[in-house]
Structure 1
């Protein structure tokens, strides 16, 4: 087998490093997916706060009151009795509040139950991702340890600079990979001496939920479909447990 040239050697190292970045990207994407899913988990207080039960019941009572005023006026016009009109107003206002309270309580309970199912479904998906996370991290770390043996001419701290090292060799500034590393270190030292202030590290961007939804899909869709399926089954067999 022909001996590998120095340029082939550094290109092979670059291929190894790119493969490592693929492992690292898989870990990052998996963790982003977990973060995205966690945004769908909400407690009962959050559901109740969004539902705003009191406001909806008040609205129902006001609607009943308005209807009561209209019908009360009709009753007064027909009977000439303010007492009958006031009784009609009171009955309709109270009825509106009671019926509205009952209906909204049912809807709130349904919303809480729906969110509970969503939470359980999301937690199951997160558990799967957590198991996958452990596997991906183990694969990434195992590969990294293998890189330390495969790439023997430089510290893996220089992985991000492999293209610069290759450019040094292609430009004829170094004949071997080890010399390319030495040239690179000299350039780095020169830059540090001439630049006292380094650029601040770029902070990671916060997770964009809309982009994440396009990337990972809607995790609630399957949960909702399962709920509809269970409802259809209960309707088909109301005595089933």
Structure 2
């Protein structure tokens, strides 16, 4: 008998991940809202929203889960050369909404992305609460060359999206993020779904149960607000 997707009510309770569908992989629930309380409750369980208008909000917990352990970051020779050239500036949380808007731009196939205005408002609220952060990579003229954003909970960073307008800029953003997280003794970065881009940087898959156990051990740990700073330029990441 096919599994039925649970519709969320006004409580912040999510179904157990064992109820998630195999196809599409990880679809767990539908409905609810994007309030800070619900989003943080979801992330603590390894659940994230992902949908495209006019769909209702869909909540996912795929198995396996793509993660990057900070100590396993892989820097290729070409990326090391990019960092040594020191051509990019770095910033944190200076242009959070702008980073989201860049991530939300239309893909090459002309279809929209899942980052709509409701998503932007929701994550900007998390930023105001100190629970979301952006890493910005700046061109020599100060404009955004690339960046990423995500949610910080305990000692886990849940990466949401990244963009690049210049070659290697999103990779530099991830290197910069790892620089921060190592100082904060973070355990892992949730990359959600695998890609060749992420695998080239050291990301790998772990099974959902392992992922959930790691979250249970780390999302309640304290972290310091003062770690969210970077060298002025990317050469300082080496």
TM-score range, shorter chain: under 0.3
Q: Which has the larger radius of gyration?
A: 1
TM-score if structure 2 supplies the norm length? 0.20
The structure with more helix, counted as a fraction of residues: 1
The structure with more strand, counted as a fraction of residues: 2
TM-score if structure 1 supplies the norm length? 0.19
